[in-house]
Structure 1
Amino acid sequence: MSAEDLGAGSSGRLGQEFRTNAIVGNHYRIIKRLGSGSFGDIYMGENLVSNPKMQVAIKIEPTCDKAAQLYNEFKFYRLINEKQGFPNIYWFGQWDKYNVLVMDLLGKNLEDVFEACELKFSLKTIIQLTLQLLDRFEFLHSKSIIYRDVKPENFLLGRAGFPNQNTIHIVDFGLSKEFIDPITGKHISYRTGKSLTGTARYMSINTHQGVEQSRRDDLEALAHLFVYLLRQGKLPWSGLKAPTLKERYRKIGEVKVNTPIDELCAGFPEEYANLLRYSRSLGFYDAPDYETIKAGFVELYNKMNFEDDKYDWE
């Protein structure tokens, strides 16, 4: 969890109960509040027993909150089990009237970095990000997890000056779900009439239409994210006005359906149009062929003969 991806002026739900120097989980001291995430407030803290003292992120939510998500998030981090590209988890438990999750403190989120670069990433950087995120989602799906909330705000760099500073980390699993039942070993069933879960700008067409999400929807949402980066933050369905949120989501889905992929991806490497076509062609139960997808982007990267492997923000 990042210090930079949360507005310091956000209004927290926990009030002022967590003051500087408060101790949670026996040896994690709160330093300052960073802001509010989707399902709780987030603080910078430090591990008092590490040598030297290590800075951490501390995510806190009331145990009485009906929308409590921290245990769900902790469950998925435990399945991931300290894999590169995901924050390490140091402690989870109840403290007073709150659920607390202690994890790595990371760097800026991808949207903030994109804006700092004036919404202009080079093709070199976008291909590198594409390969990193395809790796992450291939791993998540291998663990029977669908993410269901693709957006650049949930993808964080490592902390500046650390060895992992250019590694993309996926955070915030509050909306994630297992698509294989751990008891029966069966894939979840195809359903319709589902409420929208995720971020409308990037979600798949099937999600807009109320279809239960599976691996294909994560991949399509990623493809929409890559096109967003290629088009410098300008998508045909951005900025649509409507009297209600439900109507705006309906309009966004309608524009996605009616925008030809060739038009959406015009002027960019065909690999991105092919990824979007492929993701939309997958069946509900299908596993994406990540090896073939990634091989195409590796070939594209090599063909471009870039002078170095540096990212734009370096």
Structure 2
Amino acid sequence: MPPKGPGRSKLPVPLPKDMILKDTEGKTWRLGSQIGQGGFGLIYLASPQTQVPVEDDAVHVIKVEYLENGPLFSELKFYQRAAKQEHIRKWMNLKKIRCLGIPVFWGSGLAEYKGKSYRFMVMERLGQDLQRIFEDCGSRFKKEIVLQLGARMLDTLEYIHENEYVHGDIKAANLLLGYSNPHEVYLADYGLSYRYCPNGNHKQYQENPRKGHNGTIEFTSIDAHKGVAPSRRGDLEILGYCMLQWLCGKLPWEQNLKDPVAVQTAKTKLMDELPDSVLRWDPPGSSCSEIAKFLASVSALAYAEKPKYGVLKQILLDGLESSGMRYDGPLEFSTAGSTQNHRAAKSRVRLPKPPPKAAQQRGKKPEGEEPACPNQVCVGLPGTELLGEEKPKARSRRAPQAQLQQVRL
């Protein structure tokens, strides 16, 4: 576990452009421009071609934080333990899915600059986040998009859960389109990921008010409000709230986000009164029936119970059937209607075109074929195992009702 101290979660002093970093496997990376930052640290463009400057269409990024910080440490452990590319490819073949929305991990290491120690992680570059697209669409997605996104995230969460982890912070800001193929969507930011079932032993249900209300308040699960360690049902509950917001443009508790207890009470009421509590939020010209069924199935889960992912996915696929759309087909973002702050419009949100150079670096498919998911063609560099066990992040809800489930590695 990384040491705690006054520097924890402090943004690092920026590293200089063109600095060369060496990962744990001995591979060198050249830093390009800084393109973002978060609570954990900074994000730079990067390239393994260290003899030349990093170009703006680079297909790798490097995340950097101070060594004593925690979020990137947790994210690294997730990728090293649960997201090896050979395991992802086997899973995709087993499940017969074209792409799995987990970003490709390329390596990690340590660096020194001006007397400070840094941790870094090399990842594939991703594109625009769904929160920005959601706002561009008038804070509403059409139903077909909501069901597509939900079904794809179920594929991703099932894989994560089967490898002993939960994500804990699913939201549009953490869902990013592919950089080379903007019709793929990836679940990013594993800083709150939690190993809920180490070595097949599910964590016990235990409420801890001191750890209550962890996560993003709009979407976090009822378990999280109570300070219970994260579980599979919590991830699925969060996904259900996301889908409800994407379709309806708002959530019943959005006016009380500064009062976590009020938000918890509203979520408990919604889950206790399903399906009517969701159906009454039907947007004009659409229906929340699939989301109501989805949340009802999630609500029936015991804390340690393994979800029936196929059943949950079929609920969403049934809603797509009438539109003739495939859940893994193109993502056609367009405004779904009006909200209080946006006028109704029929304009389509333009997705960024993949840069030609990046497409060459990632490998082009023959003309007429869809670009390959990077999880099918890229092999991440194996990282060295990190020592230490992370502390549970707060989560919470109904007491356990079933035997603990074993999770396959």
Q: Structure 1's 112 and 50: CA in aligned 2 closer, same or farther, altered over 3 A?
A: farther
Q: Which amino acid aligns with 2:305?
A: D
* Superposed CA RMSD: 2.4
Q: 1:309 to 1:172 in 2, by over 3 A?
A: closer
Change (3 A) 1:310 1:55: closer
State the partner residue of 1:24.
21
SS of the aligned residue for 1:108 comes to strand
**Aligned-residue offset at 1:190:** 1.3
Task: Please show how residues 138-153 of structure 1 align to structure 2 within 5 Å.
Answer: 138-153=158-173
Contact 2:278 2:288 in 1 (8 A): no
TM-score, normalization: structure 1?
A: 0.85
| Equivalent-residue separation in structure 1 for 2:16 and 2:64 (angstroms) | 13
Does the 8 A contact of 2:11 with 2:39 survive in 1? no
**2-side partners of 1:55 and 1:206: how far apart?**
38
What residue in structure 2 maps to residue 256 of structure 1?
267
Distance 1:280 1:263 in 2: 13
Distance 1:297 1:256 in 2: 22
Q: Please, which moves more after superposition, 25-34 or 95-104?
A: 25-34
Partner of 2:84: 81
Contact 2:233 2:301 in 1 (8 A): yes
1:95 aligns with 2:111: yes
Given the alignment, which residue of 237, 244, 256 partners 1:220?
Answer: 237
Which whole-Å CA distance do the structure 2 matches of 1:113 and 1:221 have between them?
19
Cα distance between partner residues in 2 of 1:123 and 1:186: 38
Which residue of 2 is the match for residue 305 of structure 1?
Answer: 324
SS of the counterpart of 1:157?
strand
Paired residues of 2:63 and 2:120 also in contact (CA < 8 A): yes
Residue pair 1:131, 1:297 contacting (<8 A) in 2 also: yes
The one-letter amino acid of 1:134's match is L
8 Å contact 1:28–1:47 — kept in the other structure? yes
Shift of 1:205: 1.6
- For 1:15, what is the secondary structure of its paired residue? coil
Identity %: 27
4+ residue segments displaced more than 4 Å: 49-54, 306-310
1:263 partner amino acid: S
Q: Deviation per CA, 1:25-81, whole angstroms, max 9, x where unpaired? A: 26322211122223222112222169998431111111133xx23232112112111
Q: Closer, same or farther in 2 for the Cα pair 1:310/1:158, shift >3 Å?
A: closer
Which residue of 1 is the match for residue 125 of structure 2?
A: 105
TM-score (norm 2): 0.66
Judge conservation of contact 1:47–1:55 (CA < 8 Å) in 2. no
Assess if the C-alpha contact under 8 Å between 2:207 and 2:227 holds in 1: yes
Aligned length: 290
Distance 1:40 1:303, change over 3 A: same
